[in-house]
Structure 1
Amino acid sequence: MNLFGYLGDAANWAGPGGIWERIGEHMGYVAVSLLVAMIIGIPVGAAVGHYRRGQVLVVQTSNAARSIPTLGLLVLVVTLMGTGLVPVVLALTVLAVPPVLNAAAVGFRDCDPDAVHAARALGMTPWQVVTGVELPLALPLVVSGVRSAALQLIATATVAAMAASGGLGRLIVDGQLLGPSGYPEMFAGAVIVGVLAIAVDLLLGAIGWILRMVTYRRGRLTLTTERQVAV
């Protein structure tokens, strides 16, 4: 059996341990880890960018986190906490936080100062400035950070199989145990991971493009309002 034969066999897709179940597990790890990374990275990055303090610390911390090998971190966490969802999500979150955090910090820091000044001139509170002006302007860059983190997670979530968990990494690990007869299963796991990464990248890229268009129109409206206030 070759790769196409394995993927074309309906029996390999259905039932416990089937491809659909592995895809669901894989994307579940990615979704939970990405959500946790966003909950941590976006507020912290927003605070750093808004107040323009701590940028160097954020960059250094992010670079240090990126240098940690995910597999080694996963082995350490599994040794301390045992197998299951939590160790996998913890290891993947460490990988996902840096790009989200950096993008949020840069996005809020580089907001159009004219738009911010116009909002303050209209009497908006600091919180309203952050949520109503800076956040919409920073969103395209924040989405790019989320996009980068998502792609890394999809590729790296295969290590979940090393923690006796599920995901598409099981196809690679289980296929390896079968020897040459398991090569189609291994290749199938790798191909599906690649297809998922491309699909998610296109989806998030489209969202980023829409947000850029909305931000552009919002910026033009804000500048028009500023001129009216100045008059």
Structure 2
Amino acid sequence: MNESLWEFLIHRLPDIGKAFQEHLIIASTAMLLGCLVAIPVGVGLAGNRIKWINSIVFTVASVLQTVPSLALLALLIPLLGIGTTPAILALFLYSLMPLLRNTYSGFQAVDPDVLEAARGMGYNTTQRLFKIQLPLAFPYIMTGIRVTTVYIINWTTLAALIGAGGLGQLILTGLAVNMKTMVITGALVAVLLALLVDFLFGKLERIVSNRMKVQVAADPG
């Protein structure tokens, strides 16, 4: 119990690796599902002229965002039991609002004159979407993904409360046995993972944004 942090890392590396893998799977699955749902919905709402539909969708997403995480997990247990599934579903629901909001804002920020010029050049809806709107909205979308991913990685530590494992399990176990090295390890690895993912997404955003700017500039008009 009195071993140093370094000794703990060496002796319990397989357990830490397993917790890290579980944490990564839960967070990445929730984010992937969130992106697959929220980004297309955000694109659709940006082009939607029926405002009350937009209001309903954003209201529902906002309500889901404001439900306390522990309360949401507790509500899902009677429906899905404990383990990975309810944890992924809860994190997926939390990811929707920021992804939806940033995607919608990105498409709303596209200059209407640019779209009108593309229309005049004969671009159809699909061409305007992929050649004009998506490249210009991409920085907004990527910012939403970066911020949401960091939040989801942090919130995934709570998944251990319902038996889903992850780095939160190290923290809970460390608290239960009064083992500070275990608590510090779980928290530290979660923070480092969030920082690493944010850094990698930042690099990806710059590379893809630059290529998309070149694509937009290369299109006639």
> Does the alignment reach a TM-score above 0.5?
yes
- Give the equivalent residue in structure 1 for 2:12: 12
Q: Give 1:114 deviation, angstroms.
A: 3.7
Q: Give 1:46 deviation, angstroms.
A: 0.3
> TM-score normalised to the size of structure 1?
0.87
> TM-score normalised to the size of structure 2?
0.91
CA distance in 2, matches of 1:155, 1:53: 36
SS in 2 for 1:150: helix
Is contact 1:84–1:163 with CA below 8 Å preserved after alignment? yes
2:202 aligned with 1:197 = no
Q: Give 1:84 deviation, angstroms.
A: 2.2
Q: Give 1:184 deviation, angstroms.
A: 0.5
Q: Give 1:101 deviation, angstroms.
A: 0.5
Which ranges in structure 2 are unaligned for 5 or more consecutive residues?
A: none
Q: Give 1:220 deviation, angstroms.
A: 2.9
Q: Give 1:27 deviation, angstroms.
A: 0.6
Moved more, 208-217 or 132-141: 208-217
Q: Give 1:167 deviation, angstroms.
A: 0.5
Is contact 1:58–1:102 with CA below 8 Å preserved after alignment? no
- Give the equivalent residue in structure 2 for 1:229: none
One-letter code aligned to 1:173: L
- Give the equivalent residue in structure 2 for 1:132: 131
Q: Give 1:57 deviation, angstroms.
A: 4.3
Is contact 1:172–1:187 with CA below 8 Å preserved after alignment? yes
1:192-222 CA-partner distances (Å, limit 9, x unpaired): 0010010001011111222332233334334
2:173 aligned with 1:174 = yes
Q: Give 1:108 deviation, angstroms.
A: 1.0
Is contact 2:132–2:216 with CA below 8 Å preserved after alignment? no
CA distance change for structure 1 residues 52 and 90 in 2, over 3 Å: closer, same or farther? same
Is contact 1:62–1:102 with CA below 8 Å preserved after alignment? no
2:2 aligned with 1:3 = no
2:43 aligned with 1:49 = no
One-letter code aligned to 1:151: V
RMSD of aligned alpha carbons: 1.7
CA distance in 1, matches of 2:139, 2:193: 22
1:23-49 CA-partner distances (Å, limit 9, x unpaired): 111010011100111111001100111
